[in-house]
Structure 1
């Protein structure tokens, strides 16, 4: 698909549409909440900004490329003065006191947020069912899950309710729902975009990620949000990625894939067949394809969840109803803390907090947590060797198709395993993009750390090839 951002920008400049009419159109589409993607409409805020854009155009002033473009925000990002609930009972009345850096950069560029989007509570889930606002319904089949945890964001893009949306990816939470809903979803290199103002799930793998319908729109939004932020010490200066450079993919010579992902008994036979057919099409273009060895998917999943649960237990310890959240009073302070957290956290969030406290507890931390850290280092070293042999790693996004709504809640273990093909790249902190091609849930393109440009290049190659 062509860039929606460029198209709408030109229509605004040519006065073919007004910004107010564009924003109202998106708000009207979102209001029925057909797919349960909406936590809050930002109607007054958005229409005020739209009026200012229209006034600039009427005066003949130049507007920026993103100015007046409507977008959605996963409800884990701070936007000053708006509710930021994380789709949780605990924070359902919490109003942001400040704005996240990534969102502020988009506002500074003139983009207009129209909706806070439904997601798994605190990012805990792979289906966007773990939410007080009702399960997100898949854009293609409302009986299926929207994917998680950024399900509302992916569905809104797929349904054209937003031009792009900002999700959050910890272990696949942008890439998996993007695959389930046939759109593009990027997890950039860790540190490329500031996490300041994003509610932390697992700080060592949390990434801000754009979701859109074209590679070009992903590139535009990524450039705006990228860069060093003094409020996030993990960030770094990142050069802008130019449209011309990602149109030339002649320097991509080798592609690798993990044969244990494809030989696994867990992978759906149709996804496997489609993936292998894609590999043959790539070979036909003269690119060398190499089968690579990697850690078994169950090791990846257990390593990721060991570390992620430990970090979320630590990050959510501040939510006790004293400074943040829906406080429930009891007979003393300790009991108030206990009942506040017990009544307000979802079952999945409590499961992850208990698991995290277990692996960090005395007697278990050496045996489990430190082993997880060592395995993460080994995974990163494995990736470094792989990228000495290949330019790109290609993989399925998920081993199976989207489940029906309700089934994941009955089987948390199956939900964790649905992340088997995404979590390894999170542990390696690598740039990874879901593209809506190749299999029923898309393909995943991964490059070496800080090489986000190459991921977008290969996405353009696939768009022209399959």
Structure 2
């Protein structure tokens, strides 16, 4: 199978390249790039680690598959000693005191971190424009958005500035930018990878996941990060996914799709036509395709944002300038809190905090928040029934193509609705992978909980099918 990781590993082992030269080349590209993907470069750390790899190879010592492979980190992950800003004014000078579990596992495997990557502030956005570092520009057309919130991570992979990057997905924040930039992006089953050290947006749907240029590289990185973590009680022990297991898709007999997604007035005509063409190609391979009923897009978006805003209001309540962040002094403590948060949070973050506090407030919580929780349960039950009838579900990643930079900021509602095809799978806590095929912004493949292997298996099958 195609794999940049395996190719670079072999070049290092064969002494065709040095790790130091590889890392320096990537750092130079990142430093010069004009797509606003970089919040900070980890130059000293990267070069120091690269030298260690070169020293091992010089002594003919064996190196691991990920050892010496350069990667990027969305700037919402703690990495000890680095500035972790979440692309926000509030945390522009905040230094991590520890390292996130998922990132530590990659470091333990010998992968080399190059960059903390630009994103929507605290993950609040679908375009990577809500950031103090400037809007991330699409890898294929710099006039368009890079997608969000993991826009910098997806663009860096697409432009080969990193071999892979670690994004964060709450309601589509890995999958949508992966689609916009024509790369692979995985939101694993909720709990497969520890969230410890990831700045929380919505704790019930936040997922750590990889972005890369091949299914095989996604598999390699997923295996490295997966597993139970005593610091995150939602994690579980997961089975290793082998390379050989992805080579056959014989156990995938039936594929489903949500007909209301395709019949929606919101879907772009070209996206719809291309998706239906992909369906026909799948049928031509002897796989049965079933049209499924699902919740309307507006219901999915409303449910997701009701719960996500409530959770982010709670999670960000600690950021008041006392223990964390850029404190702005005022006449009294209450005013200090108010000014610090008003001046340092982006408009989008403030919009989500206000919305979250409203749905949690007395008089609204029963009417809105509890109804959202009930709908989430109904959505999960719907998925359980669907996966009794089909093996996997495919869907467009987005109803339309990437907007121009600036357009999303003028219309927040349109930005929320761009998540219509991703948020349902987040609410269901299901493994979902974007592949750069099928439509202009790719396709999503989804399976039942804990069936991440099946998602990768079908993605590998579709490489030569559509």
TM-score with structure 1 length normalisation? 1.00
**Aligned counterparts of 2:416 and 2:209: Cα–Cα separation in 1:** 21
Shift of 1:444: 0.2
User: C-alpha distance in 1, partners of 2:33/2:195?
Assistant: 28
State how 1:29-428 maps to structure 2 within 5 Å: 29-428=29-428
Q: Shift of the alpha carbon at 1:82?
A: 0.2
Distance 1:74 1:33 in 2: 17
Equivalences for 1:440-455 in 2 at 5 Å? 440-455=440-455
Aligned length: 466
SS of the residue aligned with 2:15? coil
Tell me which stretches of 4 or more aligned residues in structure 1 moved more than 3 Å. Answer: none
CA shift, 1:348, in A, is 0.1
Structure 2 Cα separation of the partners of residues 343 and 433 of structure 1: 37
Cα deviation, 1:137-188, whole Å, max 9, x if unaligned, reads: 0000000000000000000000000000000000000000000000000000
Counterpart CA distance in 1 for 2:53 and 2:231 is 30
The separation in 2 between residues aligned to 1:288 and 1:462, in whole angstroms, is 15
Residue 236 (structure 1) shift: 0.1
**Could you tell me how far 1:2 is from its partner in structure 2?**
1.7
What SS is found at the alignment partner of 1:210? strand
Alpha-carbon distance between aligned partners in 2 of 1:384 and 1:464, rounded to the nearest angstrom:
29
1:34 is displaced (CA, Å) by 1.1
**Which residue number corresponds to residue 18 of structure 1?**
18
**Aligned-pair CA distance for 1:5:** 0.1
- 1:24 Cα deviation (Å)? 0.1
User: In 2, distance between residues paired with 1:405 and 1:414?
Assistant: 13
Q: What secondary structure is seen at the aligned counterpart in 2 of 1:339?
A: helix
Distance 2:441 2:112 in 1: 29
Once residues 297 and 221 of structure 1 are traced to their aligned partners in structure 2, the CA distance between those partners, rounded to angstroms, is 32
Partners in 2 of 1:248 and 1:228 — Cα distance? 28
1:464 positional shift: 1.6
Unaligned runs of 5+ in 2: none
Partners in 2 of 1:199 and 1:334 — Cα distance?
25
CA distance in 2, matches of 1:464, 1:100: 37
Structure 1 residue 355: Cα displacement: 0.1
**Tell me, what secondary structure is at the counterpart of 1:341?**
helix
In 1, Cα distance between equivalents of 2:96 and 2:350: 24
Q: Deviations over 1:282-332 (max 9, x none)?
A: 000000000000000000000000000000000000000000000000001
In 1: Cα distance, 2:31 partner to 2:283 partner: 47
- Distance in 2 between the 1:291 and 1:60 partners? 56
- State the distance in 2 between where 1:336 and 1:87 align: 22
- In structure 1, list runs of 5 or more residues that go unmatched: none
Q: Aligned-pair distance for 1:363?
A: 0.4
Once the two structures are TM-superposed, the CA of residue 33 in structure 1 deviates from its matched residue by 3.0
**Superposed CA offset, 1:368-423 (max 9, x none):** 00000000000000000000000000000000000000000000000000000000
Cα deviation code 1:1-54 (max 9, x no counterpart):
820000000000000000000000000000023100000000111000000000
SS of the counterpart of 2:463? helix
Aligned partner of residue 256 in structure 2, secondary structure? strand
Spell out, residue by residue over 1:441-462, the C-alpha distance to the aligned partner (whole angstroms, 9 max, x if none). Answer: 0000000000000000000110
